[in-house]
């Protein structure tokens, strides 16, 4: 069965059991600060499990893109070496939110595997949670009994907390699970070793394919468990592993998910998969990593220097390293695989098709820059090797190469080994640990349980319509971090505060108690659909009705910038073309930033057109037209532009100003004329194919014009109030460059005179024409003088000293014939004389210069110069 059919059979099967099929959420989620990437099928549904939002149906099914490269789930280092762990993989899932539980989940799992897919029962094992004393959780008898009805008991195995108890994080919903394992070894091998003994033992042909999680507990901050009021089902089956079983092969990489990419790698790199283990590992690494990188770029996460972007950069670099070292690829080539990938997966994941060009450009650019780094790193490493007298190379030096220049440690040790040297690995790891613990302690954070004051599940946001309103605190908790110290998060029954999101900053403001005491709200954020307000101290009276007020000025300025961002987006598509896609934005009260795809620099004329376009819409006084809580599809049908990071089931808000329509949760002005004016401050590149515009509106523009005009008048005054200051400045510049020319000519003239005078001072010692003299010339003048004077002499040895701007300068000229006959070297002479002026330098055997910071040493240096000729 083809992989496409395997995927759709899964979804169709659960559809027939009353599930709604939903598309994969993006791998980078908005509004989930706890997770860098979606690493399991349940991550996008967290708020449903926590009861903080309502799912579109109590039964859902999907295939979710997952990335396991950071945090709790990190498989990166395994990838390539084994045949069944990937960085990016698809997790097929069926979900029950307070609907069916163990009985159905177990029965349907078995029906799908054995009847729909026709997998032989005799290659399957299932596991059941054995219980845990410390947690006080019993063995999962319920699950055991349901399995017993359909599976023979010798195939049901008991599993411990590590394998059979699933937790979302340190806190939150969790529960026991049952895993399905397959044994795809040959009959011969099975006869030798019982499959049962290989389950959960990291055998490449006895692997877990599906995990059924029965969420029935909530883990509290103190570690204790309580029963959940609603029980849920969360299942995850590795799609690539299922394909391996269904297609009768022994490795995920031998399925049709990977073979087209592998064939392409073989063709481009002229290698063959399956001949040499090192080459095979490299090919697996590259075929895996190109998927991870391409999918995350398509989801809006570009490689960068920090956070999630840095993780993506590292994955790509890992692929480059393997291709550089084992496939001998010294030129970018991974980007060339994107075509095959998009042909293969573009149907199931259309974002790969629509963004192919961008993905290719970004990968190619990254490859080029990392290959340059590798080149530089090789040079630096050679330097380190040259300076090592020992056979062991310092781990700290290797760490510096790795940390500062991104030069990979495995490459370092490989090169050292080739040269018969050794790397001090312990030293490397110690340096690494030291750095890690530095950054860990900076980000450490502890979060208490919520203290609930009032039961209230869905909190209302009223901040589009009002900025001041009475509220009650429904719950609060303490959060302590190194960076921010102790803070409290407050949740209200309703709130006028906009939580950070969609690129817009969170509102600040205050809450006021009945007795007039004020507590400042420093920021507002959202997590799992709950808006919380950050305060430094708890208000005294937590139970009374408080007056909550948003900082109006800041909100107003932010709204101006947000509306201007939409107009800018429209302008860009209108003026640069429809290929422009939003790649990120930041809306602050003081400025706005907009990143978008475009392949060349935006010219000054285009920038002017864009600014004019936006200002025309501001002058056009366009009113805000807002539609709240409409289904996403409806808004898109009406012409709204979809945003990245949005997921299925979100109801959206459509914001219209004239012809600009966007899906947006942010705050906006009532009329574009409120913005007053829009001004672009800069245009630059963020990555290959991604440009950034920074701009300001309203008060910031006023300030900008006030400042600019102040500078203008000051400049004008400096120019004696010239009528036309630009002309006056140009005149000054012209005058300046004329004067420069004259000075140069005069200096040349002076050097000539000096030459005439100096000629008389030359002393002849043993047939050498010697002169050591302090002159008043700059470096260029001294050089001219040396060559002109030296050119007229046979065996010249000339040393000049000069003091310029408090610094000392020394030069040495030796005729070529003298260099040879007397084995003299000007470079060596200046290096040695340089000591008198506390400096150093070098050059060629016949001419060299040195600079130093001690002009007082010049006479001594000149004195010492004579020794060379006397000695010679």
| Closer CB to ligand ATP, 9 or 750, in the complex | 9
Instruction: Select from 82-90, 591-599, 608-616, 730-738 the region that touches ligand ATP (CB under 6 A).
Output: 82-90
| Closer CB to ligand ATP, 30 or 85, in the complex | 85
Q: Is 375 exposed, middle or buried (0-12, 13-18, 19+ CB in 10 A)?
A: exposed
| Binding status of residue 75 toward ligand ATP by CB under 6 A | yes
CA 252 – CA 204 distance, rounded (Å): 10
Instruction: Select from 206-214, 422-430, 437-445, 448-456 the region that touches ligand ATP (CB under 6 A).
Output: 206-214
For the window 364-403, what string marks contact with ligand ATP as x by the rule CB under 6 A? ----------------------------------------
| Binding status of residue 86 toward ligand ATP by CB under 6 A | yes
Using CA of residue 481, residue 486, residue 491, residue 497, what is the dihedral sign? negative
| Closer CB to ligand ATP, 91 or 572, in the complex | 91
CB of 123: closest distance to ligand ATP in angstroms? 15
| Binding status of residue 289 toward ligand ATP by CB under 6 A | no
**Residue 181 in contact with residue 197, Cβ under 8 Å?**
no
Instruction: Select from 208-216, 354-362, 428-436, 838-846 the region that touches ligand ATP (CB under 6 A).
Output: 208-216
| Closer CB to ligand ATP, 89 or 144, in the complex | 89
**DSSP assignment of 710-757:** HHHHHHHHHTTT-SSHHHHHHHHHHHHHHHHHHHHHHHHHHHHHHHHH
| Closer CB to ligand ATP, 147 or 407, in the complex | 147
User: DSSP 3-state assignment of 277?
Assistant: helix
CB of 202: closest distance to ligand ATP in angstroms? 8
Name the nearest CA neighbour of 677 among 577, 790, 778, 560.
560
CB of 366: closest distance to ligand ATP in angstroms? 23
**Residue 483 in contact with residue 518, Cβ under 8 Å?**
no
For the window 631-670, what string marks contact with ligand ATP as x by the rule CB under 6 A? ----------------------------------------
| Binding status of residue 318 toward ligand ATP by CB under 6 A | no
Q: Of 144-163, which residues contact ligand ATP (CB under 6 A)?
A: none
CA 420 – CA 145 distance, rounded (Å): 62
Instruction: Select from 145-153, 205-213, 544-552, 797-805 the region that touches ligand ATP (CB under 6 A).
Output: 205-213
Residues 6+ apart with CB under 8 A from 546: 470, 471, 472, 473, 511, 512, 513, 514, 539
CA 567 – CA 675 distance, rounded (Å): 11
| Binding status of residue 210 toward ligand ATP by CB under 6 A | yes
Q: Is beta strand 592-597 parallel, antiparallel or unpaired with respect to 582-587?
A: antiparallel
CB of 181: closest distance to ligand ATP in angstroms? 9
Instruction: Select from 204-212, 370-378, 749-757, 823-831 the region that touches ligand ATP (CB under 6 A).
Output: 204-212
Q: Of 29-48, which residues contact ligand ATP (CB under 6 A)?
A: 40
CA 679 – CA 561 distance, rounded (Å): 11
| Neighbour-count burial for 272-283, b at 16+ CB within 10 Å, e otherwise | ebeeeeebbbbb
Q: Of 557-576, which residues contact ligand ATP (CB under 6 A)?
A: none
**Residue 262 in contact with residue 342, Cβ under 8 Å?**
no
Q: What does each C-alpha distance from 675 to 404, 427, 504 come to in angstroms?
A: 44, 58, 16
| Closer CB to ligand ATP, 161 or 588, in the complex | 161
| Binding status of residue 167 toward ligand ATP by CB under 6 A | no
Rounded to the nearest 10°, the torsion over CA 561, 562, 567, 571 is 80
CB of 245: closest distance to ligand ATP in angstroms? 10
CB of 851: closest distance to ligand ATP in angstroms? 59
CB of 182: closest distance to ligand ATP in angstroms? 10
Half-sphere exposure for 352 (CA within 13 Å, toward CB): 20
From candidates 61, 164, 211, 495, binder to ligand ATP by CB under 6 A: 211
CB of 591: closest distance to ligand ATP in angstroms? 41
| Closer CB to ligand ATP, 241 or 653, in the complex | 241
Residue corresponding to tokens 């290929």? 579
| Closer CB to ligand ATP, 68 or 232, in the complex | 68
From candidates 140, 208, 662, 683, binder to ligand ATP by CB under 6 A: 208
Q: Is 5 exposed, middle or buried (0-12, 13-18, 19+ CB in 10 A)?
A: exposed
CA 384 – CA 307 distance, rounded (Å): 31
Q: What's the length of the chain?
A: 872
Instruction: Select from 81-89, 594-602, 698-706, 768-776 the region that touches ligand ATP (CB under 6 A).
Output: 81-89
| Binding status of residue 615 toward ligand ATP by CB under 6 A | no
| Binding status of residue 209 toward ligand ATP by CB under 6 A | yes
**Residue 298 in contact with residue 349, Cβ under 8 Å?**
yes
Instruction: Select from 207-215, 270-278, 409-417, 645-653 the region that touches ligand ATP (CB under 6 A).
Output: 207-215
CB of 582: closest distance to ligand ATP in angstroms? 31
| Closer CB to ligand ATP, 114 or 413, in the complex | 114
CB of 201: closest distance to ligand ATP in angstroms? 11
Instruction: Select from 202-210, 407-415, 530-538, 633-641 the region that touches ligand ATP (CB under 6 A).
Output: 202-210
Q: How many residues belong to the site for ligand ATP (CB under 6 A)? A: 17
Name the nearest CA neighbour of 399 among 376, 420, 372, 426.
426
| Binding status of residue 68 toward ligand ATP by CB under 6 A | yes
| Binding status of residue 91 toward ligand ATP by CB under 6 A | yes
For the window 240-259, what string marks contact with ligand ATP as x by the rule CB under 6 A? xx------------------
CA 241 – CA 251 distance, rounded (Å): 8
CA 868 – CA 11 distance, rounded (Å): 90
| Closer CB to ligand ATP, 204 or 406, in the complex | 204
Q: What does each C-alpha distance from 268 to 262, 318, 336, 854, 869 come to in angstroms?
A: 10, 19, 9, 60, 64
3-state DSSP helix/strand/coil percent for the chain, to nearest 5?
A: 45, 25, 30
Q: Of 220-239, which residues contact ligand ATP (CB under 6 A)?
A: 236-238
| Binding status of residue 82 toward ligand ATP by CB under 6 A | no
Measured in degrees and rounded to the nearest 5, phi and psi for residue 18 equal 85, 10
| Closer CB to ligand ATP, 89 or 258, in the complex | 89
Residue corresponding to tokens 């079983």? 245
**Residue 67 in contact with residue 27, Cβ under 8 Å?**
yes
Closest residue to ligand ATP using C-beta atoms: 238
| Closer CB to ligand ATP, 85 or 102, in the complex | 85
CB of 88: closest distance to ligand ATP in angstroms? 8
Where do runs of H (alpha helix) occur along 406-471? 409-418, 425-443
Q: Is 92 exposed, middle or buried (0-12, 13-18, 19+ CB in 10 A)?
A: buried
In the structure encoding, which two tokens stand for residue 802, read together? 């000069």
CB of 85: closest distance to ligand ATP in angstroms? 4
CB of 214: closest distance to ligand ATP in angstroms? 13
Find the distance separating the first CA and the last CA of the chain, reported in whole Å: 90
CB of 237: closest distance to ligand ATP in angstroms? 6
Q: Of 433-492, which residues contact ligand ATP (CB under 6 A)?
A: none
Binding region for ligand ATP (CB under 6 A): 40, 68, 75, 85-86, 89, 91, 207-211, 236-238, 240-241
């Amino acid at each position: 069965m083809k992989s496409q059919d395997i995927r759709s059979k899964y979804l169709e099967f659960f559809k027939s059991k009353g599930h709604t099929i939903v598309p994969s959420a993006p791998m980078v989620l908005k509004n989930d600060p706890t997770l860098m990437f979606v690493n399991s099928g349940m991550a996008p549904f967290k708020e449903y499990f926590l009861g903080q939002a309502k799912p579109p149906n109590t039964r859902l099914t999907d295939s979710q893109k997952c990335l396991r490269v950071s945090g709790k789930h990190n498989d990166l280092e395994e990838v390539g070496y084994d045949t069944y762990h990937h960085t990016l993989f698809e997790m097929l899932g069926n979900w029950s939110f307070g609907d069916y539980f163990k009985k159905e989940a177990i029965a349907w799992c078995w029906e799908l595997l054995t009847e729909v897919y026709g997998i032989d029962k005799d290659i399957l094992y299932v596991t059941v949670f054995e219980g845990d004393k410390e947690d006080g959780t019993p063995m999962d008898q319920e699950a055991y009994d349901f399995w017993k009805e359909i599976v023979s008991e010798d195939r049901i195995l008991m599993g411990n907390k590590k394998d059979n108890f699933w937790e979302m994080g340190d806190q939150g919903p969790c529960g026991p699970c049952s895993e399905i394992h397959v044994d795809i070894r040959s009959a011969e091998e099975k006869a030798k070793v019982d499959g049962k003994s290989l389950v959960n033992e990291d055998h490449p042909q006895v692997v877990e394919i599906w995990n059924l999680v029965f969420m029935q507990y909530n883990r509290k901050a103190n570690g204790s468990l309580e029963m959940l009021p609603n029980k849920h089902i969360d299942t995850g089956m590795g799609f690539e592993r299922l394909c391996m079983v269904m297609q009768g092969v022994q490795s995920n990489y031998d399925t049709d998910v990977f073979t087209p990419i592998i064939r392409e790698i073989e063709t481009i790199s002229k290698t063959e998969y399956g001949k040499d283990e090192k080459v095979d590992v490299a090919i697996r690494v590259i075929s895996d990593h190109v998927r991870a990188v391409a999918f995350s770029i398509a989801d809006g996460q570009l490689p960068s220097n920090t956070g999630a972007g840095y993780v993506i950069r590292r994955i790509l670099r890992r692929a480059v390293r393997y291709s550089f070292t084992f496939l001998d690829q010294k030129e970018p080539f991974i980007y060339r695989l994107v075509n095959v990938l998009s042909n293969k997966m573009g149907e199931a994941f259309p974002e790969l098709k629509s963004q192919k060009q961008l993905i290719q450009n970004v990968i190619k650019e990254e490859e080029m820059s990392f290959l340059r780094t590798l080149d530089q790193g090789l040079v630096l490493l050679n330097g380190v090797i040259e300076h090592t007298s020992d056979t062991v190379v310092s781990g700290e030096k290797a760490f510096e190469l790795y940390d500062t220049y991104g030069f990979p440690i495995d490459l370092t040790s490989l090169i050292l080994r080739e040269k018969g040297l050794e790397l001090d690995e312990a030293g490397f790891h110690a340096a690494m640990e030291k750095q890690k613990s530095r950054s860990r302690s900076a980000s450490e954070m502890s979060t208490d349980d919520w203290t609930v004051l009032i039961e209230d599940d869905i909190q209302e946001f009223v901040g589009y319509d009002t900025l001041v309103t009475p509220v009650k605190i429904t719950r609060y908790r303490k959060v302590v971090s190194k960076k921010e110290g102790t803070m409290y998060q407050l949740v209200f029954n309703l709130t006028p505060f906009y939580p950070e999101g969609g690129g817009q900053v969170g509102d600040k403001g205050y809450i006021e108690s009945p007795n007039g005491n004020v507590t400042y709200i420093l920021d507002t954020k959202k997590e799992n659909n709950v808006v919380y307000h950050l305060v430094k101290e708890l208000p005294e009276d937590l139970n009374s009705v408080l007056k909550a007020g948003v900082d109006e000025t800041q909100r107003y300025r932010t709204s101006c910038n947000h509306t201007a961002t939409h107009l800018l987006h429209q302008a860009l598509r209108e003026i640069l073309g429809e290929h422009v896609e939003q790649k990120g934005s930041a809306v602050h009260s003081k400025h706005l930033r907009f990143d978008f795809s475009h392949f060349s620099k935006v010219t000054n004329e285009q920038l002017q057109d864009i600014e004019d376009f936006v200002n025309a819409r501001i002058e056009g006084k366009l009113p805000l037209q807002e539609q709240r809580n409409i289904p996403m599809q409806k808004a898109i049908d009406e012409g709204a532009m979809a945003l990245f990071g949005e997921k299925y089931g979100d109801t959206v808000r459509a914001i219209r100003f004239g012809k600009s329509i966007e899906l947006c949760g942010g705050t906006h002005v009532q009329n574009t004329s409120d913005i007053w004016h829009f001004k672009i401050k800069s245009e630059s590149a963020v990555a290959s194919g991604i440009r950034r515009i920074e701009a300001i509106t309203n008060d910031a523009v006023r300030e900008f014009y006030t400042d600019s005009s102040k500078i203008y008048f000051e400049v004008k005054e400096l120019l004696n109030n010239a009528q036309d200051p630009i002309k006056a400045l140009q005149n000054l510049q012209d005058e300046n460059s004329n004067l420069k020319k004259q000075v140069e000519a005069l200096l040349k003239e002076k050097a000539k005179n000096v030459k005439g005078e100096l000629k008389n001072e030359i002393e002849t010692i043993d047939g050498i024409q010697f002169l050591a003299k302090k002159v008043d010339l700059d470096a260029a003048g001294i050089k001219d003088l040396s060559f002109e004077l030296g050119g007229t002499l046979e065996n010249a040895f000339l040393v000049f000293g000069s003091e310029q701007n408090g610094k000392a300068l020394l030069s040495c000229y030796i005729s070529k014939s003298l260099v040879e006959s007397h084995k003299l070297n000007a470079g060596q002479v200046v290096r040695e004389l340089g000591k008198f002026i506390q400096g150093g330098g070098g050059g060629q055997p016949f001419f060299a210069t040195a600079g130093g910071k001690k002009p007082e040493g010049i006479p001594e240096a000149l004195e010492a110069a004579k020794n060379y000729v006397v000695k010679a």
